[in-house]
Structures are given as structure tokens and as C-alpha cells.
Structure 1
């Protein structure tokens, strides 16, 4: 653990915010409408519950084991060998995640900007920048993001205001026309996204300079993310209607529509800028967590020693993980929400339950 590195509560909250909002707002509305149709905005209500549960579990565990990451205190809760196995699983999970994030970034850039560029170019340029950021440390990533998050908000808020003028509330009818089941199905994907957002707390909380503010800061960031995602899903449905569920990047289509109808043109360039800046932060944080997990599991003194080889392996993984964009979309829509729920919600809650039972058992013996 690099105890000399510290981030403030504001930096932690902004990291949580950027980790989700920068990329998820472009893809989530389409997936939600695919299942819940015009009632997709209601799906955000049950989906936020899983994120709140994960947040509560991780902040509680961090208070019980101050200065330790989830990889470290897992061994104290479930034993050395089971803890090691769980640590290996976390490494596999984050390696898969960073490979998916990198190839998702590459497909996005190829689709909009550089269709003839090889996939390796996008992965390589992104990973070099992220590797340098991770080598400098989580404190530097937090400081960079203090500049990036306001840029994203300044770009996003005017677009949302312009979109209100094109919105048609009639697109939201009928209310619960097919019952509650489609709404619950539409909640699965954003639930995975919210859990992913708070799951990084398991590694970032030990670096917080004021641990007592962890839960307050995380809740504020979570509330901000929920509000923005809610507004974006609502506007996407009211502007695009049923077409939202058929589009990979529905918010991008909303921006293009506003640009055509209004006096401003090529607003999708703003979406690309938001994606690139946010994805830089997202991949940097994930690479940091991956390197930190490996160093803690194998007792490597400094995680910086393995940043370069792990970044190289992540590039290789991103090239071979999916053959095309269709496979990626199928994974994100159907596979990732299930694995995310197990990894990011059930495991922290199970660790908290086991730890609570053990503490009560010890207390009753005394």
C-alpha cells in the first residue's frame, strides 16, 4: 500500500462521477429501452438500489479495516487461502474489464472518427496515456480528473437544455403498458453500471485522506450520477421514441438531431470529447486497481513496477477479447450485468455478512 498517496473527498467523488457518466450515458439508454421500452426511465429506480447496497457494504468494511483494500481484508474475513482465491478472481475480473473498456473505446473511435485505422492503434495510444497516469499514482489521476469532470459537465448541460426543446412527453405513454416485468428487465444493465461505479471504492477508500467522509462523498456522487442518467434516459425516449432501443449510441443520435434542427451543428464532436476524456480516467483507475491487486496478492512492494507489463497484456487482451462490435454489445447487454451483480454486489455483501457473524460470535464468547 502506497500510504504516501492520498486523495481528497472531492477527488474521490469526482472520480466516481467520471467513472460512470463519461461513457455510460452514451450506451445505457439504448440498452434500457430495448427491454423496458417507453418505461425505461422507471427502471432506474430499482437499479440504483443495488448500487446503494454495494456502497453501504464497502464503506462499512472500509471502516472496519482502515487502510486495507478489499483484496487485503478478504483474507482476514474468509481465511488466507479463500482470500487468495478471491484475489485471483478480482484480478481476472479487472483484467477482463480493462480489456472490454479498451476495445469499447477503439470501436467507438473507429465508428465515428477513424474507420480505416487498425484497432491496435486506438488501444495502444489510450493505454500509453493511462499507463503513464497510473505510474504517476492515484493522486495524479485524481488531480487530472478535477479538471476533466467540469469539462464534461460544461459540455453536457447545454446539450441537455437544448434537448428539452425537442422533447415530446407523449413518447412516454402508455405508463406501464406491459406491466412491471419489462421495467425490471431494463433495470439489470444500469444496475451493473451503478455497482461498477461504487465497486472501485474497495480499492480507493484506503487512499482517502479523511476516511470518515467516505460514505457522504460516495452518496453525493452516486446521487449526481443517478440524476444525470435519469434525465438523459428520459430525454432520449422523448426525442427518439422506440428508435432509442435500436441505436448503439442513442445519446449521440440525440445530439446529431439537435444539431440538424437547431443553429448548432456537429454536436456529436462534444460526445466524442466526453468519451475520450472520461475513458482516459476510467481506464486509468481500472489499470491502477488491477496493478494494485496484483502487487498486494503477490506481495510486490511497489505496484509501479508492474504497470508496463500489465498495460501491454491489457492491449493484447483488448485485441483478442472480441471479434467485432456485435460480440461486444452482446457481452455488455447480457453477460456483464450478471457477472457484475455477482462480483460487485454479492461478494461485498457476503464478506460483510461473514465478518458481522464472526464479530458477533467473538463478542458472545467474551
Structure 2
């Protein structure tokens, strides 16, 4: 771990917010509407309660071991062999997440923005930018996020402002028309996306004021969930639940609806730029977490030497994991939520229980 790097609680909060939004800015409204229909926004808001529970779990662990990353908890709590196995699984999870997001970028660019461009070219370009960014460390990632966050908020407000005249309240009626079950089902899809924030525990030791880090994480998580909830509500109010569920990128479709005096219209670049901000932050954090986690396993003093080979591996995994969007949607619906549950809930609970047992038995 690069102990000489430090980030502020404010930067940690912003990184958490952008990470939480991440690739969900394009997909979450569709996922929720597929299950909950016009009540999709309720399923999104429920995640704020679940987010508080996750924040409590993660920050309770982080405050017990403020100088350790989550890949280092295992060795301290479970012993050398089980701890090493847990760390390897986490590094695999980080790299898998980064690879999937990279392929999402390639799919979005080649289907919506540059359809004539080979997906390999897009992946190489973005993978190279991620490798360069992570080689510069956590401080660079957090500072770039801090610089881009105000622009993201500005563009988000512009989007809401110009969509406001097209809102139709009847689109969200009847409320809970099909009961609570579809809402819970849609909420679980969103929860799977939220569990990925466990990766941010890899940055906790870098926060220069650990006592404020827990509050920063919680606020950032709630900001991210709130923005996704508002976006989901706007998609339902403007597009309707059927179109929101049908569109592969409903948030992108929202920007295509903007038209002011037949002059200011077709401003899809706003959503594309917002998405690039959040996705770059998320994939950079995932990739950086994989690099420092693996360097810790190998006993290296710096993770820089691993960034290039991991970048090549990430590129190849992206091509292998997700051959097309249909496959990705099926994978996300059926596999991703239980997969993230292992790393976002199961392992943290095991670590917390082990820490409590050690404390009771008198071990430090």
C-alpha cells in the first residue's frame, strides 16, 4: 500500500458519490422499471435505507482497522491462509468489475456515439487512460474527481431543468399498483450495484482525517443514490415505464427528448459527458484497488509495476466476459447481484464477526 498518499475527506466523499453513480447512470432506470414499472423510483429510494446499513457495516470495519485495506483484513482476522484466499478473491472481484465496466464503455461508444469504430480501439484508448491515471496514484484520481464533480452537478441540473416541461405526473400512477413485490424485486437489482462500494474501503487508509472519513463515505453514498433515484423518477415521468424498461440506455434517451424552440435539442453529449465522468472514476478506483491489493499479496512496495500487465489483462477480460449487450443484461440480472453479495455483504460480515470475537477473547 502506498502509505505516503493522502486524500481529504471531501475528496473521499466525492469519489464515493461518483463511484456510486458509476455506470448505473445509464442502466439503473431500465433495471428498476423492468421489475417495478411505474414504481421504479420507490425501489431506488428504498436503497437509501439499505445504503445506510451498508455504510454502517463498512465504516464499522474501517474504523477498527483504519490503517488497513479490506484485502488486509483477512490476514489479521482469519489467519494467513484464509486471509490470503480472501484477498485473492477480492482482487479478482476488483479486476472483474473493472473489466465489465470497460466493456460497457466500448458497447456504449460503438452503439450510440461512434458506430463505425471497432470496439477494440475504444477499449485500448480507455484502458490506456485508466493505466496512466492509476499509475499516478489515489491522490490524482481523487483530485480529478474533485475537479469534475461540480461540472457533473451542473450538467445534471441542466438536464433536469430542460426536461421539466415534459413531465407527466400520470406516468407514476397508480402508486404501488401491483403491490410491493415488484418494487422489492427491482430494488434488489439496484442493491447489487450499490454493494460494489465495498471497493472504496481500499481507499479508506489514504484519508488524512480518518475520523471524518466515515461521515464522508456515508454522505457520498447517499448523494449517489439520490441522484440515481431522481434520474429514475425523471425517466418514468418523461418516457413512461414501458419505454424506460425497453431502452438499453434510458438516461441517454432522455437527453434526446430535450427540445427548446426547435433550436436547443439533441444534446446527447451532456449525458455522454456525465457518464464518462462517473464511469472513469469508478473504473479507475476498481483498477487501482486491484493493483494495490495484488501488490500487497506479492509483498511489493509499489503497485506501479503492476499497472501495465493488469491493464492488458483487463482489456482481454473485457472482450471475453461480455461479447454483446444482450449477454451483459442477462449476466447483470441473474448473476451480478448474488456475486457482489459475496464481497459486499458476506465477507464484511465475516470480518466483523471475527473482529468482535477476537475482541471478546482479549486479542488486539
- How does the TM-score come out when normalised to structure 2? 0.95
Contact 1:17 1:222 in 2 (8 A): yes
Alignment of 1:168-179 (within 5 A): 168-179=168-179
Check if 1:248 corresponds to 2:248.
yes
What is the Cα deviation at residue 26 of structure 1?
A: 1.6
Q: CA deviation at 1:258?
A: 1.7
The residue aligned with 1:205 is 204
| Alpha-carbon distance in structure 1 between the residues aligned to 2:331 and 2:69 | 28
Tell me, yes or no, if the aligned pair for 1:8 and 1:209 is still in contact at 8 Å.
Answer: yes
Query: What residue number does 1:47 align with?
Result: 47
Q: CA deviation at 1:226?
A: 2.3
Cα distance in 2 for partners of 1:210, 1:68 equals 14
Q: Is the 1:54–1:349 Cα contact (8 Å) retained in structure 2?
A: no
Match of 2:284 in 1: 284
Separation (CA, whole Å) in 2 of partners of 1:49 and 1:79: 34
Report what 1:304 is aligned to. 304
- Distance, in Å, in 2 between the alignment partners of 1:67 and 1:130 is 26
User: Matched residues in 2 for 1:10 and 1:271: separation?
Assistant: 25
CA shift in 2, pair 1:313/1:108, >3 Å? same
C-alpha distance in 2, partners of 1:342/1:164? Answer: 40
Distance change in 2, residues 1:279/1:226 (3 Å):
closer
What is the RMSD computed on CA atoms of the aligned residues? 1.7
Q: CA deviation at 1:47?
A: 2.6
SS in 1 for 2:116: coil
Q: Secondary structure at the match of 2:333?
A: helix
Taking the aligned partners of 1:246 and 1:77, their CA distance within structure 2 comes to 46
Q: Separation in 2 of the partners of 1:50 and 1:80?
A: 32
Shift of 1:354: 2.0
Structure 2 gaps, min length 5: none
- 1:318 equivalent in structure 2: 318
Does residue 113 (structure 1) correspond to residue 113 (structure 2)? The answer is: yes
Structure 1 residue 65 and structure 2 residue 85: aligned?
A: no
Report the 3-state secondary structure (helix = DSSP H, G, I; strand = E; otherwise coil) of the residue aligned with 1:6: coil
More moved, 278-287 vs 99-108:
278-287
Deviation track 1:117-143 (CA, whole Å, cap 9, x = no partner) reads 221111110011111111111101111
Q: Map of 1:216-231 to 2, 5 A cutoff?
A: 216-231=215-230
Note the residue ranges of structure 1 that are not aligned, 5 or more in a row: none
SS at match of 2:229: helix
Q: 1:98: how far off? A: 1.0
Superposed displacement of residue 45, structure 1: 3.6
1:174 and 1:20 mapped to 2: Cα distance? 29
Alignment deviations for residues 257-310 of structure 1 (CA, whole Å, 9 cap, x no partner): 123786421211111112223222222111100001101112112111111100
Aligned to 1:89: 89
Alpha carbons 2:94, 2:199 under 8 Å: kept: no
